[in-house]
Structure 1
Amino acid sequence: MTATLMQSSDRVLLQNISWQTYQSLLKDFEQQPGMRLTYDRGLLEIMMPLPPHETYKKLLGRFIEAFTEAFAIEIRSLGSLTCDREDLARGLEPDQCYYIQNEAAVRNRDRLDLTQDPPPDLAIEVDITSSSIDQLAIYAALGVPEVWRYDGQALTIYHLTAGDYESHDRSLSLPQLTVSEVVRFLELRQSMGETSLIRQFRQWVITQLP
């Protein structure tokens, strides 16, 4: 029987949810953009992101996109693509995700099957109010090589190593992007608008070009 384990203003956690119910809810929520579902072997968390969450996920994504554009690195950005595998009974929707090293492998794919296709090379998670499900464990099971997690104050960049995540001071896919530089620009959001912030970030990126 389904039971509610936790409920707050922005999320609810349910248990004893079947894979089929999870898949049905994914289809139902297609008409409600912004709702995010995380599934882990019977546990289902449904989250409605709040404005700070959306602000930071967009900024982090724009940083990656501005950086790769300046360095002429081809990417495929898939936003909150549902990343799931029935054989693992796990699934989630990153705040943003990117194919970078594997961009060419999925460039023309309209549908992805993560039992056959590679997972995204980099995923972004903004977790200001703390998920009740261990999302890193799901990313590790899916084999995502790099995860950025931002909690509103600190950014941690994780690299997948031998099945577990280790924190590092810079991006695996884009090594010129360091934790300290990304956080420096995130903190500028308090004193300037997004357009000015992205313009300043682009100016910094130019200084990193070879």
Structure 2
Amino acid sequence: MTAVSPVVKPVSLMRLAPGSVVTIDDVTWEEFESILQELGQKRSLRVAYSNSTLEIMVPLPEHEKPKDLISDIVKLLLKKLGKRYEPFGSTTFKRENSAGVEPDACFYIENYQPMIGKRRLEPNDPPPDLAIETDVTSKTTLDAYEAIAVPQLWIYNGKKLSIYLLTDGRYIQSDNSPTFPNIPLTQMIPATIERAWQVGIVQALEEFEQEINSNYF
């Protein structure tokens, strides 16, 4: 019998269509780190790693508009509250030998000051205060975010916004964000995203700002 050798090809040679999701089991931490290095920073696909499972995904345009709009809403609200922040986009956050995630967007708010001017993350840097995920093509793994200890995670699934707060190492779903406690974001953000599909992102954001100015500021 002829022995069959496994075919080994670099992950960077994978050609994935927008909206594709590939899951690879039994990936070691060293392999994950190697794959990140191979893929580099300038890429459209996104990765997540938890419990030895690697997920590789390619966003759709349907994924990008909600991400940008939610990010714009966060920036708008932080400005209204007079809070400074540092956005870190889709930076790769890791906990060695455990997990790695690339949020769709993230913000340092309480911990913004030590992150000013950072070009690379250091092992002792804190996690972002707020991470945002839009689950249009895949489902966010809460375990990875729990391992990295992101205090607040927002997940928009195409219809609903869920807010998760880290409590004793686990996420508890909440109706409100402690960053914006008096604003019903779980109702307003999905409505604003739906409005953006109808009238465009700029007008939808203007209407959102008018509403919060009238009712909350």
Q: Could you tell me the TM-score, scaled by structure 2's length?
A: 0.84
User: Does residue 1:172 correspond to 2:181, yes or no?
Assistant: no
Specify which of 119, 133, 141 is matched with residue 125 of structure 1: 133
Q: In structure 2, what residue type is equivalent to 1:160?
A: L
Structure 1, 177-186 or 95-104: larger mean CA deviation: 177-186
Which residue does 1:15 correspond to in 2?
Answer: 25
Q: Which runs of 5+ in 2 are unaligned?
A: 1-5, 9-15
Which residue does 2:77 correspond to in 1?
Answer: 67
User: Does residue 1:108 correspond to 2:133, yes or no?
Assistant: no
Which residue does 1:140 correspond to in 2?
Answer: 146
Q: In structure 1, what residue type is equivalent to 2:206?
A: R
CA distance in structure 1 between the partners assigned to 2:198 and 2:159 by the alignment: 15
Q: Percentage identity across aligned positions?
A: 33
User: Does residue 1:196 correspond to 2:206, yes or no?
Assistant: no
Alpha-carbon contact 1:70-1:205 (below 8 Å) kept: no
CA gap of 1:80–1:15, structure 2 versus 1, over 3 A, is same
Alpha-carbon contact 1:125-1:150 (below 8 Å) kept: yes
Alpha-carbon contact 2:60-2:137 (below 8 Å) kept: no
CA distance in structure 2 between the partners assigned to 1:79 and 1:67 by the alignment: 17
- CA shift, 1:104, in A, is 1.3
- CA shift, 1:199, in A, is 1.4
Q: In structure 1, what residue type is equivalent to 2:86?
A: R
- CA shift, 1:17, in A, is 1.9
Q: In structure 1, what residue type is equivalent to 2:91?
A: L
User: Does residue 1:154 correspond to 2:163, yes or no?
Assistant: no
Specify which of 79, 83, 97 is matched with residue 106 of structure 2: 97
CA distance in structure 2 between the partners assigned to 1:29 and 1:124 by the alignment: 22
- CA shift, 1:145, in A, is 0.7
CA distance in structure 2 between the partners assigned to 1:29 and 1:204 by the alignment: 43
Which residue does 2:48 correspond to in 1?
Answer: 38
Alpha-carbon contact 1:128-1:152 (below 8 Å) kept: yes
Deviations 1:114-138 (A, max 9, x none): x42211000001112333xx62111
Specify which of 64, 69, 79 is matched with residue 89 of structure 2: 79
CA distance in structure 2 between the partners assigned to 1:2 and 1:121 by the alignment: 42
- CA shift, 1:181, in A, is 1.9
- CA shift, 1:32, in A, is 4.5
Secondary structure of the residue aligned to 2:23 is: strand
Q: In structure 2, what residue type is equivalent to 1:111?
A: R
Q: Which runs of 5+ in 1 are unaligned?
A: none
CA distance in structure 1 between the partners assigned to 2:47 and 2:80 by the alignment: 33
CA gap of 1:28–1:205, structure 2 versus 1, over 3 A, is farther
Q: Could you tell me the TM-score, scaled by structure 1's length?
A: 0.87
